[in-house]
Amino acid sequence: MTQPLIIENITAHYGTTKVLENLSLSVAEGELVSLLGASGCGKTTTLRLVAGFLQPTSGTITLGPKNLTRLAAHQRDIGLVFQNYALFPHLTVRENVAFGLKQRKFGGTERLKRASAMLDRVGLAHLADRLPGELSGGQKQRVALARALVIEPPLLMFDEPLSNLDAKLRVDMRVEIRQLQRANGTTALYVTHDQEEAFSISDRVAIMHQGRIMQLDTPEVLYQKPANAFVANFVGFENLLALSVTARDGALVTAQTGDGALMTLSQDQLGAIPDRFLLATRADGLQVTTDPAAPGLTATLGLRTYLGRAYQYQAKAGALALVANGPLSQPLDQGAVVTLTPNPEQCAILAPE
């Protein structure tokens, strides 16, 4: 039933503007892959290409044994959940869910049976005769989900399905979507701009930028070991330091910033360090200490803000602007001279730009 999706070397244009360049992506059977990125990064374009609402300039899209590339949208057999739900306003909830079955020439009683069973599964059996206009946002989202699932598609696609819901409902719904998708074992492609949503729901996430995939990996790897500066920045590494190695002593490496400030790093903890590299850390990964002998960068603290779990400081090390978190037990004032020590567990070594 369920099938792997393979997108190979897709290039797409809107008019003369190239929006996707040579994009390849595969989603294994039963896997949920998210496309994550800011608006205009090409994630929705990718989804629309797979759905058949857009035609690629070149490349192929296959779903299991079926080549979708030149197939009309209504022949692709993909369950699609829209951002605005796209429920038919003139049909009842049950008729909405049965719509796809009707196109597949199911008989009236069979349609009714399957639609009702599906509405039961999403907990909306009692609303079956309502019109979509009478439903709340969360209920509409469930109907949209039921409508896409009832046709038992080999591939499910979600186009920012939760962006019109409030924060609490968003969390509930994403759990529900994940459970339904798992239970059916359906291959799924999920488009969102919300990082938390993508990371929480997906087996793998593709971070996209300007029509290309910057990194495709599990949420854990993306979060801890971004592969490049863009992804590091995207997943919240506030500090990017350009460093070059001045001395190596076994596993220990001494590197200096553009200003000539020196710091010592351990290859045992960070992996191999090239001669020129970027050190990426989160604010949490830069420890603030008043001990002048500690290894790290000497910096002057600026504005302090309260985060609840820690204090955050805007800090200056020479010409470098950095963000670091310090313990609640020891609030430091503006102008204090401190040492910022990178915590190796929260650092990543990246190739220079």
Partner 1 sequence: MKRLAGWMLATPATLMIALLLVLPVAATIGMTFGAPGAGTWGVAQPYADFFTSGFRRRVLWRTFEVAGWVTVISLAGGLVTAYVVSRCPPRVKSILIVLAVFPLLTGVVVRSFAWLVLLGRQGMVNNVLQWSGVTDAPVAMLYTQGAVIVAMVYIFVPLMVLVLVGVLENIPEDLLQASSSLGAGPVASFLQVTLPLAVPGLIVGAVLVFTASFTSYATPHLLGGTRQMMMGTLLHQQAMVAFDWPGAAVVAAIMLVVIVATVLLMTRLARRMNPMTT
Partner 2 sequence: MSTRIHPVLIFFTVLIYIFLLGPLVIIFGAALSDTTYLTFPPQGLTLRWFENIWNISAFRRTIVTSLQMAFLGTFIALIIGIPAAYALNRHRVTLPASLSTLFVLPILVPEIVIGFSLLRSVTVEAGVPVWYALLIGHTLLVLPYVIRVVSASLASFDFSIEEAAISLGSPPAKTFFTIVLPNIRSGMIAAFILSFITSINDVSISLFLTGPGISTLPIQLLAHMEQFFDPTIASVSVVLMLLTILVMVIVERTLGLAIVAK
Binding site for partner 2 (CB under 8 A): 53-55
Integer Cα distance of 77 and 17 in angstroms: 29
DSSP 344: G
Strands (E), 257-319: 262-266, 276-281, 286-289, 297-306, 311-317
Choices 35-43, 59-67, 145-153, 319-327 (CB under 8 A): range interacting with partner 1: 145-153
Which of partner 2, partner 1, none does residue 21 bind to, with CB < 5 to 8 Å depending on kind?
none
Toward partner 2, which CB reaches closer, 53 or 88?
Answer: 53
Q: Is 151 in the site for partner 1 (CB under 8 A)?
A: yes
Which of partner 2, partner 1, none does residue 61 bind to, with CB < 5 to 8 Å depending on kind?
none
- State the Rg of the chain over Cα: 25
Choices 80-88, 188-196, 280-288, 336-344 (CB under 8 A): range interacting with partner 1: 80-88
Single out the residue of 17, 65, 133, 250 in contact with partner 1 (rule: CB under 8 A): 133
- The half-sphere exposure of 39 on its side-chain side, counting CA atoms within 13 A, is 2
Toward partner 2, which CB reaches closer, 20 or 205?
Answer: 20
Instruction: State the nearest-atom distance from the C-beta of 92 to partner 1, in Å.
Output: 10
Integer Cα distance of 337 and 316 in angstroms: 10
Residues 227, 211: contact at Cβ < 8 Å? Answer: no
Q: Which of residues 33-62 bind partner 1 (CB under 8 A)?
A: 51-53
Exposure string of 113-146, with b = 16+ CB inside 10 Å and e = fewer, is ebbeebbebbebeebbeebbeebeebbbbbbbbb
Which of partner 1, partner 2, none does residue 16 bind to, with CB < 5 to 8 Å depending on kind?
none
Single out the residue of 14, 38, 58, 90 in contact with partner 1 (rule: CB under 8 A): 90
Give the other-Cβ count within 10 Å of 96's Cβ: 26
3-state SS, 133-195, equals HHCCHHHHHHHHHHHHHCCCCCEEEEECCCCCCCHHHHHHHHHHHHHHHHHHCCEEEEEECCH
Instruction: State the nearest-atom distance from the C-beta of 11 to partner 2, in Å.
Output: 16
Instruction: State the nearest-atom distance from the C-beta of 13 to partner 2, in Å.
Output: 12
Toward partner 2, which CB reaches closer, 53 or 306?
Answer: 53
- Sheet containing 58-63, strands listed edge to edge, beginning at the edge strand earlier in sequence: 17-27, 5-14, 58-63, 66-67
Single out the residue of 3, 25, 46, 76 in contact with partner 1 (rule: CB under 8 A): 76
Q: Is 14 in the site for partner 1 (CB under 8 A)?
A: no
Toward partner 1, which CB reaches closer, 80 or 323?
Answer: 80
Treating both helix axes as pointing N-terminal to C-terminal, what angle do 93-103 and 137-149 enclose, rounded to 10 degrees? 20
**Which residues are CB-contacts of 167 (< 8 A; sequence separation ≥ 6)?**
none
Give the total of residues touching partner 1 (CB under 8 A). Answer: 30
Two structure tokens written together for 308: 């609840």
What are the backbone angles phi and psi of residue 183, rounded to the nearest 5°? -60, -40
Q: Is 168 in the site for partner 1 (CB under 8 A)?
A: no
Which of partner 2, partner 1, none does residue 84 bind to, with CB < 5 to 8 Å depending on kind?
partner 1
Residues 313, 248: contact at Cβ < 8 Å? Answer: no
C-alpha 259: how far from chain center: 35
Instruction: State the nearest-atom distance from the C-beta of 82 to partner 1, in Å.
Output: 5
Toward partner 2, which CB reaches closer, 73 or 294?
Answer: 73
Instruction: State the nearest-atom distance from the C-beta of 297 to partner 1, in Å.
Output: 52
Toward partner 2, which CB reaches closer, 18 or 178?
Answer: 18
Instruction: State the nearest-atom distance from the C-beta of 245 to partner 2, in Å.
Output: 54
Burial of 193 (C-beta count, 10 Å sphere; 0-12/13-18/19+): middle
Which of partner 2, partner 1, none does residue 54 bind to, with CB < 5 to 8 Å depending on kind?
partner 2
Binding positions for partner 1, rule: CB under 8 A: 51-53, 72-80, 82, 84, 86-90, 99-100, 102-104, 131, 133-134, 147-148, 151
